[in-house]
Every structure is written in C-alpha cells, then in structure tokens.
Structure 1
Amino acid sequence: MPGSPGRVVVVRADASRRMGTGHVLRGLTLAGALRDLGAAVRVVCRAHPGHLMERIAAEGFPVAGLPAPAAGDDSWLGASEPTDAEETIAALAGARPDWLIVDHYALGAAWEQALRPHVGAILAVDDLADRPHTCDALLDANLHPDPEARYDGLVPDGCRLLCGPWFAPLRPEYAAARRRRGGPRAGPVRRVLVFYGGSDASNETARALRVLSRPPFRAMGVDVVVGANHPDPAGIAALAAARPNITLHGPRPHLADLMAAADVALGAGGVSVWERATLGLPSLLTVTAANQAAQVARLEETGAVWSLGPVEAVTDDALADTMAALCDDTDARAGQAAAAFRLTDGRGAARVAEALCPDPDRALTARPATPADAALYFRWLNDPETRRQAFQTQPVPWAIHAPWFAAALEASDRWMRVAETPAGVPVGQVRLDRAAHGGIVSFGLDPLFRGRGWGPRLLHMARETWAGEARQSQPQPESRPQPLHGFVRPDNAASLRSFRRAGFVEAASRHPDAPAGSIDMVWTPPDPAQQEAPA
C-alpha cells in the first residue's frame, strides 16, 4: 500500500441532535484520506442521541462507543472531561496509535494530557481558539487574517499549525467536481440546493421551501437534502410534495454532484461553506450557531457569500427579498462565485493526511496547469517564504495575477506543470519558458512539502521535457542543443541545492534575461549528434 502502511490512527469525535453531525463527518473525511495512505483508522464516539455510529461502520471504520450520557445530562460532552479521558483510554484497549485526532469543543489540554502517555502524537481539530491544547499539531480550517496568531499561548512550542481553508477536510468528490467544472459558474438561476446541515434545529429547511414555493421562485428546480438528525423530516416531505420541480434527498455521503448542478445554495455557516466554495457555488447563508458568526462575517467581507445574519433575525420575507436580489444580480453572483472559488481547492483532507504521514519517497506525477489552478498558484505565489526569496518581494494582487495566469496558460512558448501525489495533492509547480538564448526554468514547492528533497524532482521534469524537445528540433546536423537556465538569489540556499542536485551548474556566460545579482544555473541537454545510436 502507498504511504505509511502500519500506521494506526484513532479519531475521537461526537455527533448528536444538539451538536449536529459536522465533527464526525469531518473526522470520517480525514479517516478516509489517511486510509488512502495505508493507515488503519478507528473511531471513538459517545452514544449521544443521533451518534452516527452506524454511518461510521458503514464506511468501513471500526467504531468504539462510549457510554450514553446519564439521564438529564444535556452537556455537550455527556460526561466530565476526566471521565471521557478514562473511557477513551479504555476504548484504545491497550493499543498505542501513532496519531490520535480529537475534534470536540468540550475537550482540551487536560484531556489531551491524560491521553498523552497512550498515543504517539495528537492532532487537535479546533475552530474556536478558545482553550489551551497540549497537541503536536492543530487543524483550524477557518478563514482568518492571521490564523496562526490566534493560537499564540494556546498550543505548545513546536506545535505544527495547519490553518486556513486550504486544509479544510473535504471528501475527494469535491476536488474531482471542481476539476471537471474548471472555474466558477455564471448565468441565470435555474436550480437551487437547500441544505442546512445534519441537524437544522430551527428547521431553516422548512423556511427555505416555503419561500421557494412563492411564485417568483416556483419554476426553479430544487434539491433538498434532509440531514440525519433533522427534527421534522415528515414535515419537509409534505412541503416538498406540494411543490413541483423538487427532489428530496436523505443523508448522503457527499453533496458534490448536487452542488455542481446548482446555481445558488441556501444553507448554514458550518463546514459545508468549504464544500460550496470549492465549487464556486453562490450561497445565501443563515448563521444557525454562535460559533458560525465570525466565520460567516469574514466570508461576507471577502465577497464569497451573502449572509442573512443570525437565525433569530431571519424571516420568510427577509429570505425571499434577499433571494430575489441575488437571482436578479448576475454580476453579484459571478463575483461571489469567483471569490469563493479562490478560497480552497477541496484537497484539504489529503494535505492533512500528508502532514501526519509524510513519505519522502512518494511517487509524483505532473499534469498541465489549468484555469482551475489560478487560486492555487496565487496561494503559492504569495507564500511569505516565496515572496522573501523572489526577485520582487512585494505581494502580488489578484487583479494582476489573474490575467497574467490566464495569458500564461495560452502562451505557446511556456510550459506549466503541477506536480501531484497519487492522492492528487498539489506539491508544487514547475515552469519552462522558451527563449532565444535557451530555456528558463523556475519551480516552487508548497510549504507543506518543503524539506523532502522534491525540488530536484520538479527540475528533472523540466529537464526531461527540454531534452525531448532538443531531440526533436535539431534543424541542422551542426546545430547544438540550447541550454536550460534557472535564476536564483545568492541567499536562497535551498533552491541552489535543488538546482545542483538536478545537474545544473553555475553558468560561465550569463543569460541576457538573468536578473541583476542572481546566480545563473545552467544545464545543457546531451547533443543527439554525439550520442551513439542504439544497436
């Protein structure tokens, strides 16, 4: 098996009618990505009403159930933190997993410290930054201007922070649907997706159906997804039966196909915001829980969603008016879709799995860059270390990057490739520009994959392409292959090391396009005229 066979991972997460299903579903997504790398994954969860243990087992993961909360205990955890720690240790049954993933708002440093002697390392999944952790890594997929600073003083020194929407753990179907789509959507609103999460305690689904049954929206096709812990599925079924052009869905493994078919989504501000963003789906959100408020406000500031505000303030008329405005404003929808599409690419779960189970010998493949990669390149381009080592160190605005990237994809003298793991995680990019005095190669690695020695592998991809072109384009017997150049800042030791390991040497004669003060590294392909013909 690829990756890290023999690794054992345990996920501790709960679902209930009160807390919803997001924590368990997020844990299952991470579990699937780790299983794809060869890890054996088990799940531990408490037997709350609406616990989803059958769903966990149906997805092929062994599950250990902790005792149900005592009668009258309506706390989030359903037990004291020390009791939960003792019961979780017992559920490990003497095994010592390599990683323990804990995704629970009611568990923090004390619980993690109690589990520490029984596990190899701990990944805490958090999005509140409201309590200390004693973890080895922390995952917070929320959008925040300085996400790592949120955890100053809350995590130990050396804790690896996996922060931001690019680490949002989504099922692989979303990234696949994004790649098929190629870019954010545009055009009129013909189909609407309604999904307010696994629980929808305030029954916003019913409100959405009442509004969509009004004359301005009645001709639209509607997909309605009723979560596993919805309080009134029969009432939703009755509303759906009274309206034409509607399809009612029960709990599903994913909504990627429904999101790909929709033109607008009505939903809540939970983990599904990243699923919709991956596909560039314009969204009208209701804040159904207090912990969603800050996140939805930041998303609205970026132009990636429209928000109705907290559920207590939402009325049928307010939803109808805002929905009508969104449907009438094609430019606003297109702008929202583009802003959302830039936030993430749907590969977050695989990135987290790579962080927990790295393999320096992982096979890499290269694919052509596509328009859907514009946001990925933008993220790499503005990575702080990339800017520090660039010849122009200022951040690049999207308004400059977007048209440059579109033109670069169309340029006949430019070769652009994205290197990926077998799981489809982009690890970096390599670019080859054909010039009058030889080719120019540049590369960059995703911060997650630096230090694995993969820079030379990306440069070898460019070398092989350049050498292949040299073999096919020798117009005269006396002509010689053109060299391949790379320009590096003298203080960029890692990049210089990569070029040297890929067979490049410092050029005796500088390329005329070499930036001032750069080191010009060069590689010349073998001369086909001097190579012995095969027997």
Structure 2
Amino acid sequence: MLAADLAIGASGTTNWERLCLGLPTLVVTVADNQRPVADELSRRGLVHWLGDADMVDQSRMQSALEDVLDAGLDVTWSEKCLEIVDGRGAARACAVLLAEPGMSLSVRHAELRDEATLLDWANDRATREYAFNQKPITPQEHRAWFRARLRQPDCCALYIVETTSGISLGQVRFDRRIDEWEISYCVAPLFRGRGVGQTMLEEAIRHLLKCHGNVLLFGQVKLANSASRRIFESLNFSTRVSAQDRIIYERFYSK
C-alpha cells in the first residue's frame, strides 16, 4: 500500500489507512453500512466511489481507471487525504487520557501549518459562545488575519502549546497594546475539562517573558465564562474593570 500510487478497494476501515498514507483510491461498497462513508468521502474529494459491488463490472472498473490515468494523479488528492488522517490518533487519545493540571508542556511559535487547526478551534461552538464576536470565522478571513499576525512578531506573540509527545493542546496569543499585552487563549476542544488551562497559560507567559522581558498583561473575559475567570484569578490577576458583560484582569510580570 505504501508503495502504490493508486488503490482499488472496499469502503471499509481500510479507508483510514489509505487516507493516512495519502493514497488516492477508487472504492467499491460491499456492505450497506459502507455507503454513507463512501458517499461522504466522495463528496469531499477524498475517494472516487464507483458504486456497489454488484453494479461495478469489469467495464465500469476499466472506464474509471482510464479516466483517472488520462487526467493524471493530482497531488492535491493525496494532500487532502493526509489532512484528514494524520496517523496520530492513538497518541492523541493517550494525551487526552493522561492530561491533568500541572502536566509538563512545551511552547512553540505558531507556523503556517497551524492555520487549519487554529481555525477549527476558533469556530468550535464553545469558543464562539464565549467570544465577544460570536459570528463564525470564514477561512478567507482567518487566513488574512493569521498570516498578518505571523508577519508581526514584535506586536503579536502567537504560541502553540503542546504535550511532551507533540500533541497540540491549545493556543495562547499576546497582542501588544502600546505598553501592555492583551491575552487571548483557547484550549483545544479535546482537552477541555481536563484542568490544563492554567498550566497552558503559565507556560506561554513564561515563554513571553523570555522573549520580551517584563510585561504588563491583561485579559478580557465574559462574565458567563466562569472557567476563564477561575484561571485568571488562580494566576493572581487582579480586576481592572468589572463591567456589565465582562471583567478585565491584569497583572505585571517580571523575569
């Protein structure tokens, strides 16, 4: 399978192995429960669904192969497959099960490859619920915003926080506002409720201090967002402003 350029197979669990390898595939359904999966994968352009086995004869198979080979294998077909299944499912499941307050974490600067992940986190239902602007973010809006932030390292520090096994746990962003920095952060949906938000924010702040020295930090939190309020208060942030819809916390950090 690894050495192949094109596969023909049933639309069962082997779908995920082929997707993980970025292997373009013509699929045939051999059971009723395979049809919804084949239909969705075909709709997304991840496979070419030829139909049920009893409807796909030698002529249909030959015609489908000729169509693909005449058109040439577009590399983006493989790329789309690789984006869906990264092969790290077991590591990700273990990371979630082992997540706990005070766990060891690492911090790195966000890169172009993080664009899709950050958009998914930003458009998660719970994230939008506690955002001050609850409108979903389009891929075009996010791309323009994200790439602009990466080009401005002096006024935006955008970090990805990971487990020691390299599983992304969330993001923390610091935006410079003249002589202070505003905190925005998001715990990845998989890790919510595991008590890792405080540790994640602490590690990101420690990284910011290494890069920028003494800093005055502040964060705006909706009154209804009790989890974020607890995190800021547990980190000894004080209340700067308490308004009808939000609390603004602040704290001065020195190296």
- Asked if structure 2 preserves the Cα contact closer than 8 Å seen for 1:282 and 1:337, the reply is yes
How much has 1:389 moved relative to structure 2? Answer: 0.9
Q: Output the TM-score relative to the length of structure 2.
A: 0.80
Contact preservation (8 Å) 1:326, 1:333: no
Amino acid at match of 2:230: R
Q: Counterpart of 1:377?
A: 118
**Relative to structure 1, is the Cα distance of residues 351 and 505 closer, same or farther in structure 2, using a 3 angstrom cutoff?**
same
- Residue 392 of structure 1 aligns with an amino acid whose one-letter code is N
Alignment partner, residue 367 of structure 1: 108
1:353 corresponds to: 94
Distance in 1, matches of 2:144 and 2:48, equals 26
1:19-418 equivalences in 2 (<5 Å): 225=1, 258=2, 264-278=6-20, 280-327=22-69, 329=71, 334=76, 336-337=77-78, 339-354=80-95, 359-412=100-153, 413-418=155-160
Is the Cα contact below 8 Å between 2:9 and 2:26 reproduced in 1? yes
Larger relative strand fraction:
2
Superposed CA deviations along residues 107-155 of structure 1, whole A, max 9, x for unmatched, are xxxxxxxxxxxxxxxxxxxxxxxxxxxxxxxxxxxxxxxxxxxxxxxxx
1:517 positional shift: 4.5
SS in 2 for 1:378: helix
Q: Quick one: which amino acid aligns to residue 64 of structure 2?
A: T
Q: Which runs of structure 2 are paired with 1:404-483 in the superposition (5 Å)?
A: 404-412=145-153, 413-471=155-213, 481-483=214-216
Q: Is the CA contact 1:288–1:310 (under 8 Å) kept in the aligned structure 2?
A: yes
Question: 1:404-462: CA deviations, max 9, x gaps?
Answer: 44444444343333222233332222222334342222111123322332111121123
The alpha carbon displacement at 1:301 in A equals 1.9
- In structure 2, what is the equivalent of residue 521 of structure 1? 249
1:200 corresponding residue in structure 2: none
User: What is the CA distance between 1:360 and its match in structure 2?
Assistant: 4.0
- 1:265 Cα deviation from its structure 2 partner: 4.2
Q: Which amino acid aligns with 1:353?
A: C
Distance 1:468 1:366 in 2: 12
Offset, 1:384: 1.5
How far has the Cα of 1:324 moved from its partner?
4.0
Distance 1:415 1:280 in 2: 33
Residues 432 and 263 of structure 1: CA distance in aligned 2, closer, same or farther (over 3 Å):
farther
Count of matched residue pairs: 254
Q: 1:502 and 2:235 equivalent?
A: yes
Tell whether the 8 Å contact from 1:343 to 1:375 is kept in structure 2 after alignment. Answer: no
Q: 1:296 to 1:363 in 2, by over 3 A?
A: same
More helix by share: 2
Q: Which of 201, 219, 226 does residue 493 from structure 1 map onto?
A: 226
Secondary structure, counterpart of 2:46 in structure 1: coil
Deviation at 1:397, TM superposition (A): 3.3
Q: Secondary structure at the match of 2:12?
A: coil
Q: Deviations over 1:201-223 (max 9, x none)?
A: xxxxxxxxxxxxxxxxxxxxxxx
Q: Is the 8 A contact 2:215 2:252 kept in 1?
A: yes
Question: Does the aligned pair in 2 maintain the 1:282–1:333 contact within 8 Å?
Answer: no
Q: What's the secondary structure of 1:433's corresponding residue?
A: strand
Q: 1:484 aligns with which of 202, 205, 217?
A: 217
Name the aligned partner's letter for residue 219 of structure 2. G
Amino acid at match of 1:464: R
The 3 A distance-change label for structure 1 pair 437 and 325 is farther
Provide the rounded CA distance (Å) in 2 between the counterparts of 1:294 and 1:494.
Answer: 38
Name the amino acid aligned to 2:223. Answer: P
Which residue identity lines up with residue 308 of structure 1 in the other structure? L
Residues 459, 499 of structure 1: 8 Å contact kept: no
Other structure's SS at 1:457 match: helix
Please identify the structure whose Cα radius of gyration is greater.
Answer: 1
Which amino acid in 1 is paired with 2:222? Answer: R
Q: Distance in 1 between matches of 2:198 and 2:80?
A: 34
Shift of 1:295: 0.7
1:280 CA displacement: 4.7
Shift of 1:331: 9.8
Identity across matched positions, percent:
33
Task: Say if 1:456 and 1:300 are closer, same or farther in 2 by CA, change over 3 A.
Answer: same
Provide the C-alpha distance between the structure 2 equivalents of 1:311 and 1:459, rounded to a whole number of angstroms.
53
1:40-96 per-residue CA deviation (whole Å, 9 max, x = no partner) reads xxxxxxxxxxxxxxxxxxxxxxxxxxxxxxxxxxxxxxxxxxxxxxxxxxxxxxxxx
Aligned-partner Cα distance in 2 for 1:457–1:369: 18
Q: What stretches of structure 1 of length at least 5 have no aligned partner?
A: 1-224, 226-257, 472-480, 511-515, 529-535
Q: Residues 268 and 457 from structure 1, CA distance in 2 versus in 1: closer, same or farther, beyond 3 angstroms?
A: same
User: Does the 8 Å CA contact 2:46/2:81 hold for their aligned counterparts?
Assistant: yes
TM-score w.r.t. length of structure 1: 0.42
Whole-angstrom CA distance in 2 between matches of 1:411 and 1:328 = 45
Cα distance, 1:493 vs. partner? 0.8
Q: Per chain length, whose mean CA-contact separation is higher, i.e. which structure has more relative contact order (CA < 8 Å, sep 6+)?
A: 2
